[in-house]
């Protein structure tokens, strides 16, 4: 169901269209398989909100190549965020781990945009409460830079240098009715 609060697609400059997003996710799927030497022991966990459908799309791409399904789930990091005092009105989502959990598995966290690194730090904290994976990797559709923490993505669909005053918006068919990545805002 489309997000009624989402900006229209024509708000901002489109930097990735639906075909670009599909290509980026296909590339990420292949990179994950290559790095892991197959799909064995993989678990994909999407971060709410747009990381969840991205994880499912990547899992479908891996299954298409490998012929075997990859367990997927979702991870809510709301209560692990370090900005709850300044933004207390976040609605929690459901964390949904695949059968078999994450212990001893290679977990790939999937998110739409990597910016400061704080969401991923919160995801790592949440993950430590849920089990002990053998490795944790990160796949993002867009890396826009401006890191505040020493966090780097293992798999990136598009590196997109931005000014801090700009906003990167990811729209996905599952949540917004169409696929696009746009940039809005001014210059620094």
Tell me the domain boundaries of the chain. 18-79+100-163
Residue, of 137 and 9, whose pLDDT is higher: 137
Phi, psi of 119 (to 5 degrees): -65, -40
Average pLDDT, integer, range 12-39: 97
pLDDT score at 159: 97
How far apart are alpha carbons 109 and 135 in whole angstroms?
A: 11
pLDDT score at 4: 47
What percent of the chain is modeled with pLDDT above 90? 84
Average pLDDT, the chain: 92
Residue 9 has pLDDT above 60, yes or no: no
Residue 79 has pLDDT above 80, yes or no: yes
CATH classification (class only), 18-79+100-163? alpha beta
pLDDT score at 10: 54
How far apart are alpha carbons 143 and 141 in whole angstroms?
A: 7
pLDDT score at 88: 60
Give residue-wise pLDDT tens across range 91-130: 788 999 999 999 999 999 999 999 999 999 999 999 999 9
Residue 166 CB burial class (10 angstroms; 0-12, 13-18, ≥19): middle
Global pTM exceeds 0.75 = yes
């Amino acid at each position: 169901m489309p997000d009624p609060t989402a900006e229209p697609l024509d708000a901002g400059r489109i930097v990735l269209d639906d075909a670009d997003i599909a290509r980026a996710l296909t590339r990420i799927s292949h990179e994950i398989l290559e790095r892991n030497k197959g799909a064995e022991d993989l678990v994909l966990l999407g971060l709410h909100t747009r990381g969840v459908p991205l994880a499912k799309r990547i899992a479908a791409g891996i299954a298409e190549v490998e012929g075997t399904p990859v367990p997927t789930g979702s991870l809510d990091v709301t209560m692990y965020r370090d900005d709850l005092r300044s933004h207390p009105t976040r609605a929690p989502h459901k964390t949904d781990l695949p059968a078999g959990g994450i212990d001893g598995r290679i977990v790939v966290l999937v998110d739409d945009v990597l910016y400061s690194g704080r969401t991923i730090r919160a995801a790592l904290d949440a993950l430590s409460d849920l089990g002990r994976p053998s490795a944790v990797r990160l796949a993002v559709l867009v890396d826009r830079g401006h890191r505040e923490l020493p966090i780097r993505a293992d798999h990136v669909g598009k590196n997109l240098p931005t000014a801090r005053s700009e906003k990167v918006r990811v729209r996905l068919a599952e949540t917004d009715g169409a696929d696009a990545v746009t940039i809005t805002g001014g210059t620094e």
